[in-house]
Chains A and B, each alone.
Chain A
Amino acid sequence: AQSVTQLDSQVPVFEEAPVELRCNYSSSVSVYLFWYVQYPNQGLQLLLKYLSGSTLVKGINGFEAEFNKSQTSFHLRKPSVHISDTAEYFCAVSLNTDKLIFGTGTRLQVFP
């Protein structure tokens, strides 16, 4: 079975500072990896995904993530955050790009 661990439930950061949201997964087979963002009172939106190829994946809104197979990690990074990045971020894995298994989420709070 697959599982996802998001190590930080909350990450406070000041505006324009860099941020890293951590995600580790567990699986005995190859998986696809995703990051979703959920803004207040909105649906989940795909930020980026890793299916194959380059391990550094660039997504929307200046976010990027790096797939590290040896460490079974897929950490999300942004070099300079904005107030508007305040949201809940979910890491997810999938065997076949259909059913997603989500982590418990990380609340990113950006302060001015």
Chain B
Amino acid sequence: GAGVSQTPSNKVTEKGKYVELRCDPISGHTALYWYRQSLGQGPEFLIYFQGTGAADDSGLPNDRFFAVRPEGSVSTLKIQRTERGDSAVYLCASSLNSDTEAFFGQGTRLTVV
């Protein structure tokens, strides 16, 4: 595609439910990143994939958060037992490799009620 695509653009879920957020990177980009942006804050790093493997998952806040990228393209961020504090905009970015500019998607706004 022309840019990084994230779906859904908005997601409202009830506390305790499971959610999946999807990221379609730019075709051919091997590096993929997930960030979380809470209201009034800058984006906060969650996880970085190089190909299919998670090169750095140090930003995942706890074991309720998990991300996969099984074929080295599309990635899914999975959140179990959602809490109200998980409400934020989840941003995905991709780059040709880790040394080049990262292009961001428009994000998924997650609201946990």
Contact = CB atoms under 8 A, between A and B. Distances in A.
Interface SS of chain A: helix, strand, loop or mixed? loop
B interface secondary structure, majority: loop
A102 B44 contact: yes
Interface residues of B, number: 27
Which interface class (under 10, 10 to 19, 20 to 34, 35 or more) fits A? 20 to 34
B28 to A, nearest CB: 17
A75 B113 CA distance: 39
A99 B56 contact: yes
Contacts of A41: 106
B63 interface: no
B66 to A, nearest CB: 18
B106 A100 contact: no
B72 interface: no
A83 interface: no
Interface string A39-78: 0011111100100000000000000000000000000000
Interface of A: 4, 6, 36, 41-46, 49, 90, 92, 96-105
